Amino acid sequence: MPLSDFLDGLKDNPYFGAGFGLVGVGTALAVARKGAQVGMVFFRRNYMITLEVPSRDKSYHWLLSWITKHATHTQHLSVETSYMAHESGRVHTQFDFHPSPGNHIIWYGRKWIRVERTREKQMLNLQTGTPWESITFTALGRDRQIFFNILQEARELALKQEEGRTVMYTAMGGEWRPFGFPRRRRPLSSVVLEAGVAERLVDDVKDFIGNPRWYTDRGIPYRRGYLLFGPPGCGKSSFITALAGELGYSICLMSLSDRTLSDDRLNHLLSVAPQQSIILLEDVDAAFVSRELLPTENPLAYQGMGRLTFSGLLNSLDGVASSEARIVFMTTNFIDRLDPALIRPGRVDLKQYIGHCTAWQLAQMFRRFYPDQPPSEGDRFAKLALAVHTEISAAQVQGHFLLHKMDPAGSIDDVAQIRG
C-alpha cells in the first residue's frame, strides 16, 4: 500500500480524528504545566531555601536525633538496632528510633519546615556498603539563619547526650558510626591494676596529648602506639574504656578479623577516625588464630582471610598522612604470637603487661567492693585467695564478689570457689 493511501485511510478513522481534535487541549495543558513548573522553579529559587545534608557528613547523625525530637507527630519511624556481644557472654541490644525515609513536617522557629529523608535504593555508598542517604530541609523565605540554628541545636543536643559519656564507634564500611548510645564514663579507679601501672599509662598518654610541638618540631608523625598484653579478664579492655573516659575521648573499635577489611579500607578508616579518639585493635593475635595458625613468621600472615595484608596493616598503622594526634591501643592475650614487626618501637611505643591479680590488687578490690569492712579484711582475703590459686583474674574476683554481694565474710570463707 502506498504511503498516501495509508494516510488517507487514517484521516477517515474516527479515533484518529478525535485524537487530532484533542491535540489543541493537550498543548494548552502542556503549556500550563510548563508554566507552573517554571513558576515553581522561580518560587523555589527566590522564596525557598533548602539545605541538603549527606549521610557522610558529621552532622547527619546529630540531625537525625534532632528531627526525632522535633518531629513528635510523625508516625513513620525506622529503627536502628545496635547489638553487641560482650566477651563475658552478656549481650547488649538497643533500639534507636529515627524518622523513616520520606517527608516530615516540623514546626520550628515559627516556620514550617519540610524535612525529607531520602534513601537511594539503586545507589550504594561503595565505601560503606550502606544505602546512600541524605536529609533535605526546605523552608520558606530567604533567611539561612534558620538552618544555622538547627545545626547548632542538633550539635548541642548531641554533645549534651555525650557529656560525661564515652562514645564507641565501630567501622561500617568506610566510615565510623556511633555504636549505641554513649555509655557513662567508667571511672579509672574502678579498674584495679597492679600498683603504679595505671598511672604510668595515664601519664604517658597525657604527656603525648599535651606535646604536639615536640613531634612537629622534629618532623615525627604525631602518633603513639600502646600494647596491653596478658591473660584474659584482667582488665585490658576495661582499662582502655576508663582511660578514654578520663581523657574525654571516644573509642574507635576495629576488628582485624573482619573479613571485609582490606588494606585500603583500613588505611581510609584510620585516616578518617573522629578527632579525639582512641583507635582500639582488640585481640590482634586473633587474626592469626582465625587463619588456622599459619606460622607467625609468615609476613603475609593476614592474607587469605580477607584482603588485609600484613604489610597493609603495618602501613596503615604508620599512618603517614595523619596530622591529628593518633593514639592506637592494641590488646592481646598472646604476645608471643605477634609478629615482631607489628610491635616494634614506632608502632608500639609502650608495652604493658596486665597480669593476674597480685595480693595488693586483691586487697584493693575487696576494699572497693566492701567499703564498710576494716581494711585488714582485704589483706586477709588476698592472702587466703592466693594460697588457693596463684592465677586469679580480676574478672573472676568480680564474679566471686557478685555471688556474695552482701556477705563479705562469706566471700572470704568461700574463697576456694573464686575460680568458678
Ligand X SMILES: Nc1ncnc2c1ncn2[C@@H]1O[C@H](COP(=O)(O)OP(=O)(O)O)[C@@H](O)[C@H]1O
Give the CB-nearest residue to Mg ion. Answer: 237
- Piece in contact with Mg ion (CB under 5 A), picked from 72-80, 232-240, 285-293, 384-392: 232-240
The span from the CA of 349 to the CA of 357, in Å, is 25
Tell how strand 102-108 and strand 111-124 pair up: antiparallel
Other residues' Cβ atoms within 10 Å of the Cβ of residue 238: 20
- Piece in contact with Mg ion (CB under 5 A), picked from 170-178, 229-237, 263-271, 361-369: 229-237
Backbone angles phi, psi at 279, to 5 degrees: -85, 125
How distant is the alpha carbon of residue 361 from its chain centre?
Answer: 32
- Which has the closest alpha carbon to 96: 61, 54, 129? 61
Tell how strand 48-54 and strand 131-140 pair up: antiparallel
Q: Pick between residue 181 and residue 353 the one whose CB is nearest to ligand X.
A: 353
Residue of 67, 191, 305, 328 that binds ligand X (CB under 6 A):
191
Q: Is 396 in the site for Mg ion (CB under 5 A)?
A: no
Other residues' Cβ atoms within 10 Å of the Cβ of residue 353: 14
Q: Pick between residue 180 and residue 319 the one whose CB is nearest to Mg ion.
A: 180
Residues 69-108, interacting with Mg ion (CB under 5 A): none
Q: Pick between residue 84 and residue 272 the one whose CB is nearest to Mg ion.
A: 84
234 binds, among ligand X, Mg ion, none (CB under 5 to 8 A by kind): ligand X
Q: Is 395 in the site for ligand X (CB under 6 A)?
A: yes
User: Are 135 and 53 a contacting pair, CB within 8 Å?
Assistant: yes
Q: Across the chain, which distance is largest between two alpha carbons, in Å? A: 117
- Piece in contact with Mg ion (CB under 5 A), picked from 234-242, 315-323, 336-344, 393-401: 234-242
Q: Pick between residue 51 and residue 228 the one whose CB is nearest to ligand X.
A: 228
* Residue 202, C-alpha cell as written in the block: 595515664
List the x/- string, 229-248, binding to ligand X by CB under 6 A.
---xxxxxxx----------
382 binds, among ligand X, Mg ion, none (CB under 5 to 8 A by kind): none
User: Are 258 and 171 a contacting pair, CB within 8 Å?
Assistant: yes
238 binds, among ligand X, Mg ion, none (CB under 5 to 8 A by kind): ligand X
What separation in angstroms does the CA of 174 have from each of 181, 260, 263, 279, 297? 21, 11, 12, 15, 30
Q: Pick between residue 17 and residue 232 the one whose CB is nearest to ligand X.
A: 232
- Piece in contact with ligand X (CB under 6 A), picked from 133-141, 185-193, 308-316, 376-384: 185-193
The span from the CA of 353 to the CA of 329, in Å, is 13
List the x/- string, 76-105, binding to ligand X by CB under 6 A.
-----------xx-----------------
Map grid coordinates 539503586 to a residue. 122
**The residue count for the chain:** 420
Residue of 74, 125, 237, 364 that binds Mg ion (CB under 5 A):
237
Other residues' Cβ atoms within 10 Å of the Cβ of residue 307: 16
Residue ranges that bind ligand X, judged by CB under 6 A: 87-88, 191-193, 232-238, 331, 394-395, 398
